[in-house]
């Protein structure tokens, strides 16, 4: 049930026009302008992480090229409707990851010369194009050398380093970014509102953290949580559904380390393990605490580079205890946690790396002046 919930959200809310796309301003500006000026290229390459809008923008271009309205895309003409409903004949999507594209590229080569069925343009979206076989790639290259006037190719990839230079040189290349936490939160809030769900701002941030910059992932996590709780989503709901450690607990651990309280720190580590959380999950959050503290210690103006990674109450906690650390303690702490993070897989006692890190953070700190 949760699964179908996920699918629905990110399909249901796929942006229908450029202005709904977040975090890719540079791409959107250039492409919307090219459409307006009738200067759309015959071949594009979209590279970037998964779930950040490559397919979405490719489909908006395809739709805009065949739109009969005044504004492109109008989203009301017959052609736009066909695109939005996924039944446009002039959009051909090829997933090179599924069977490496051999048959599809052959069909593409045969089909590309015939004129579009309904509109003026035929758009080919070739997803994960780095997975095409050598033969398929060569066939595609030949087509890219002399594309018919009615054809537009949009190649997408999550692994730019695997795309041949000859392909890159024949395409207009756009690099897609991971949208920032604020953009992801705003979009989650918008969707939650449309679904009639009250999403706590901190809950939204936790979802954004978990999605690591991917909007599709963020939306599918939201769907997963809404399958369980669809009226009001709190920070605790997000932590529970995702099975991530309570950040309140990690905050307490940070405070205890700052206060140099070894027994209580070790106790809280045990509690985390009793609840089934892993060293890696806790260390990651702890690492953020110390990195944030380190930045602030060096210069409070650096806050803007790190504040997005944490919750407001966590910043307060860091600010409150910052005076207890020297800058050297903090850089040592970051190093120490990083080193201990390498040890997870080697230890017979899973909580040991975290315990050692905690003790060394406190005891080592006392020796540093
Ligand atoms: N930049 C974005 N702005 C708004 N929504 C986005 C964006 N990127 C992804 N999404 C959401 O995630 C879904 C999948 O995005 P998609 O464009 O297919 O990602 P990919 O980069 O993997 O091709 C979209 O339907 C949309 O709901
Ligand atoms: Mg895609
Ligand atoms: Zn239209």
In this structure, the residue with its CA closest to atom 7 of ligand 1 is 53
Identify the pLDDT of residue 320: 96
Q: For ligand 1, say whether the CB of 52 is within 6 Å of any of its atoms.
A: yes
Gap from CA of 55 to ligand 2 centroid (Å): 4
Paired tokens of 186: 């705003």
Q: For ligand 1, say whether the CB of 15 is within 6 Å of any of its atoms.
A: yes
Q: For ligand 1, say whether the CB of 61 is within 6 Å of any of its atoms.
A: no
How far is it, in rounded angstroms, from Cα 208 to Cα 4? 21
In this structure, the residue with its CA closest to atom 11 of ligand 1 is 216
Q: For ligand 1, say whether the CB of 58 is within 6 Å of any of its atoms.
A: no
Identify the pLDDT of residue 4: 45
Structural domain spans, the chain: 24-175, 181-242, 247-367
Gap from CA of 138 to ligand 2 centroid (Å): 22
- Report the atom number in ligand 1 closest to the C-alpha of 22: 3
Query: Which ligand neighbours the alpha carbon of 57 most closely?
Result: 1
Gap from CA of 75 to ligand 1 centroid (Å): 18
Helix (H) / strand (E) element for 239: namely helix 235-242
Q: For ligand 1, say whether the CB of 59 is within 6 Å of any of its atoms.
A: no
Helix (H, G, I), strand (E, B) or coil at 198: strand
Gap from CA of 128 to ligand 1 centroid (Å): 15
Q: Which of 206, 216, 127 is nearest to 179 (CA)?
A: 216
Identify the pLDDT of residue 110: 83
Helix (H) / strand (E) element for 172: namely strand 172-175
In this structure, the residue with its CA closest to atom 5 of ligand 1 is 21
Identify the pLDDT of residue 366: 54
Q: Which of 255, 260, 284, 285 is nearest to 360 (CA)?
A: 260
DSSP-assigned letter for residue 40: -
How far is it, in rounded angstroms, from Cα 225 to Cα 247? 18
Identify the pLDDT of residue 5: 47
- How open is the CA angle 213-171-66, to the nearest 5 degrees? 85
CATH of domain 181-242: 1.10.8.60
Identify the pLDDT of residue 365: 55
Strands 43-47 and 151-157: parallel
Sequential DSSP letters for 114-140? SPPSSSS-EEEEEETGGGS-HHHHHHH
What lies within 8 Å, CB to CB, of 101 at 6+ separation is 94, 95, 126, 131, 132, 133, 136
Going residue by residue through the chain, which has 369 residues, state the pLDDT in tens, using 9 for 90 and above.
444 444 478 889 999 999 999 999 999 999 999 999 999 999 999 999 999 999 999 999 999 999 998 889 999 999 999 999 999 999 999 998 886 767 788 888 888 889 998 899 999 999 999 998 888 888 888 888 888 999 999 999 999 999 989 889 999 999 999 999 999 999 999 999 999 999 999 999 999 999 998 999 999 999 999 999 889 999 999 999 998 889 999 999 999 999 999 999 999 999 999 998 888 889 999 999 999 999 999 999 998 888 888 999 999 999 999 999 999 999 999 999 998 888 777 788 888 889 989 999 998 755 443
Q: For ligand 1, say whether the CB of 53 is within 6 Å of any of its atoms.
A: yes
Gap from CA of 74 to ligand 1 centroid (Å): 20
Q: How many residues does the chain have?
A: 369
Residue 224 and residue 230 in contact, taking contact as beta carbons nearer than 8 Å = no
Identify the pLDDT of residue 307: 83
Q: For ligand 1, say whether the CB of 214 is within 6 Å of any of its atoms.
A: no
How far is it, in rounded angstroms, from Cα 257 to Cα 355? 12
How far is it, in rounded angstroms, from Cα 171 to Cα 316? 48
Considering the four listed CATH numbers 3.90.1640.20, 1.20.272.10, 3.50.50.60, 1.10.3470.10, the one that applies to the domain covering 247-367 is: 1.20.272.10
Residue 287 and residue 354 in contact, taking contact as beta carbons nearer than 8 Å = no
- Report the atom number in ligand 1 closest to the C-alpha of 9: 27
CATH fold of 24-175, please? Rossmann fold (3.40.50)
How far is it, in rounded angstroms, from Cα 103 to Cα 339? 49
């Amino acid at each position: 049930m949760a699964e179908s919930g996920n699918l629905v959200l990110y399909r249901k809310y796929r942006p229908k026009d450029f202005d709904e796309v977040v975090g890719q301003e540079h791409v959107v500006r250039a492409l919307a302008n090219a459409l307006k000026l009738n200067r759309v290229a015959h071949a594009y390459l979209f590279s970037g992480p998964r779930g950040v809008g490559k397919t979405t923008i490719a489909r908006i271009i395809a739709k805009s090229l065949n739109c009969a309205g005044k504004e492109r895309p109008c989203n009301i003409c017959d052609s736009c409707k066909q695109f939005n409903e996924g039944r446009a004949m002039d959009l051909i999507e090829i997933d090179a990851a599924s069977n490496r594209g051999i048959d599809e590229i052959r069909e593409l080569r045969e089909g590309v010369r015939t004129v579009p069925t309904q509109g003026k343009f035929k758009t080919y979206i070739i997803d994960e194009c780095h997975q095409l076989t050598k033969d398929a790639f060569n066939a595609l290259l030949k087509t890219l050398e002399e594309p018919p006037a009615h054809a537009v190719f949009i190649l997408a990839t999550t692994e730019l380093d695997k795309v041949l230079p000859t392909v890159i040189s024949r395409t207009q290349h756009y690099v897609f970014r991971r949208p920032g936490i604020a953009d992801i939160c705003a979009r989650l809030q918008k969707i939650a509102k449309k679904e009639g769900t009250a999403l706590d701002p901190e809950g939204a941030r936790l979802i954004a953290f978990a999605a690591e910059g991917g909007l599709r992932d963020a939306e599918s996590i939201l769907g997963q949580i809404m399958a369980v709780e669809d009226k009001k989503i709190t920070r605790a709901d997000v932590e529970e559904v995702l099975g991530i450690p309570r950040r309140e607990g990690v905050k307490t651990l940070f405070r205890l380390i700052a206060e140099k309280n070894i027994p209580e720190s070790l106790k809280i580590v045990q509690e985390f393990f009793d609840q089934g959380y892993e060293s890696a999950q806790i260390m990651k959050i702890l690492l953020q605490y110390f990195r944030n503290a380190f930045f602030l210690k060096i210069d409070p103006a650096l806050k803007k580079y790190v504040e997005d990674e944490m919750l407001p109450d966590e910043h307060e906690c860091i600010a409150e205890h910052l005076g207890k650390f020297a800058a050297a303690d903090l850089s040592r702490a970051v190093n120490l946690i990083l080193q201990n993070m390498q040890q997870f897989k080697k230890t017979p006692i899973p909580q040991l790396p975290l315990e050692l890190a905690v003790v060394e953070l406190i005891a080592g700190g006392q020796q540093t002046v």
